[in-house]
Structure formats: structure tokens, C-alpha cells
Amino acid sequence: MARHDLDRFTAAYADAALANSMDDDGAPLRVHGLESLAPETVRRMRVDCANFRLEAGDIADEFGVVDVASDFWMERNQRPFGGFFDGDYPRPAATELTQVARRFPPSELYLDDDDGRIRSR
């Protein structure tokens, strides 16, 4: 499968998404690797990450790329753990980043049994 050329933010976001999504056997999709992401899933991740960073502006740049990217995944999907209120961000930054992330609809990854690719819905 093809290796995707991802910027650091999108790669961290994709890794968080894979780590927090399960296959039908209950294993994290991370075991399948970034290379298993379908091209359209990678495109969607790139667009969503770019738009999040654009909307979050300078606030997101004040914190670590990996933390912000993974917390974006957790927050947009309203996970009960992680996110911008996990203690790593002071207010009002946590509030503003949460508001931006929640403008994005939830996203779910799944392993397509037909071709072994990881897709989003």
C-alpha cells in the first residue's frame, strides 16, 4: 500500500484517529498502519486539518503540534477522554479550540473488508 506524504499535524491527527478507532475484532486500527488509509480518507484528513488550523489561528500555534492534532480528533468526536479540556491548555485557549473543533462533524474510521483500506464516514 502507498505511503502517504503527510505534514506533521496531519500525521499526528491520523495517528490519533487510528489509535482511537477499532476494527471488528476490537483491535486499534493503528495496527494496520498509516499506509492502510484510503486516498480519499487522507484527502479528507488533510482538508479538515488545514481548515482547523486556519480557523484556530494563532491559538493552535501556541501549543505542541502533536497535542493539538490529537486533541482535535478527540474533541470533534466528543470522546470522554482527551480533548482540549484534558488539562494541557489554559482557558480561554481550551474553550476556543474546543469551539473550533466541534464545528467539524464527527468522523468515524472503519476497515473496509472489501479492500483492506481504512475509510472514514
Residue closest to 108 by CA, chosen among 121, 95, 99: 121
Flag whether pLDDT at 2 surpasses 70.
Answer: no
**pLDDT value of residue 81:** 86
**What grid cell was written down for 32?**
494496520
pLDDT in tens, 8-50: 999 999 999 999 999 999 999 999 999 999 999 999 999 999 9
Q: Which sequence spans correspond to the domains of the chain?
A: 8-120
Q: What is the mean pLDDT of residues 52-77?
A: 97
Residue closest to 45 by CA, chosen among 23, 73, 21: 73
**pLDDT value of residue 62:** 95
Residue 111: strand pairing partners: 118
**pLDDT value of residue 48:** 98
DSSP assignment, residue 111? E
Q: Indicate the average pLDDT of the chain.
A: 95
CA dihedral in degrees (7, 12, 15, 20; nearest 10)? Answer: -140
Flag whether pLDDT at 1 surpasses 50.
Answer: no
118, 29 contact by CB (below 8 A): yes
37, 73 contact by CB (below 8 A): no
